[in-house]
Amino acid sequence: AQSVTQLDSQVPVFEEAPVELRCNYSSSVSVYLFWYVQYPNQGLQLLLKYLSGSTLVKGINGFEAEFNKSQTSFHLRKPSVHISDTAEYFCAVRSNTGNQFYFGTGTSLTVIP
Amino acid sequence: DGGITQSPKYLFRKEGQNVTLSCEQNLNHDAMYWYRQDPGQGLRLIYYSQIVNDFQKGDIAEGYSVSREKKESFPLTVTSAQKNPTAFYLCASSILPGPYEQYFGPGTRLTVT
């Protein structure tokens, strides 16, 4: 089975500052990795995904993430955040042989004007 | 537009009543999922289905039931046996098999009093 740990439940950051949201996973098999964003009272929207190949993946809204196999991490970064980035962010993993997705408990990002 | 619809957006019920949440997708995805979301707990899997007329229990299936009579529909019934049904419910779908993400509906907020 797989598991996902999001190390920070809340991250406050000032507008135009950089941000990193941390995600670590545990799995005995190869996995696919995802970051989703959720705005209040809405469903989840895919930000980016790592399937294979280049370890640096770019997503929507200026976000990027780096897959580190040795550290089993998939941290999400943005060089300059906007007020509109205030939301809940979820890291998820799916094994390359299974059909279930495993989610972290989420990180609440608050951008301060 | 292809996507997942959940209805209604908000649902209110009296304690002791069963209630059915609707989930429809027109993405032609094989797999469909139901999650429950509570503050600070991330997404918890209730049920998932990989094919019509077949479904599997997730981590918190007690007090819930589902059916999958059509590929595009996966309704969830919250029964009176569910001890604490008030929550945000999310439906998702995915292509099987392979390196694909989940697509989410907008969610249904259920309040039971």
pLDDT, tens digit, 9 for 90 and up, residues B53-93: 999 999 999 999 999 999 999 999 999 888 899 999 999 99
Asked if the Cβ–Cβ distance from B88 to A41 is below 8 Å, we say yes
Cα gap A36→A54, rounded to integer Å: 20
Which residues from B are below 8 Å from A23, CB to CB? none
- The SS3 assignment for B66 reads strand
Asked if the Cβ–Cβ distance from B107 to A103 is below 8 Å, we say no
Q: Which residue of chain B has the CA closest to A93?
A: B101
A45 touches chain B (CB under 8 A): yes
Alpha-carbon distance B77 to nearest alpha carbon in chain A (angstroms): 19
pLDDT in tens, A34-68: 999 999 889 999 999 999 888 999 999 999 999 99
The share of chain A scoring above pLDDT 70, in percent, equals: 100
Asked if the Cβ–Cβ distance from A41 to B48 is below 8 Å, we say no
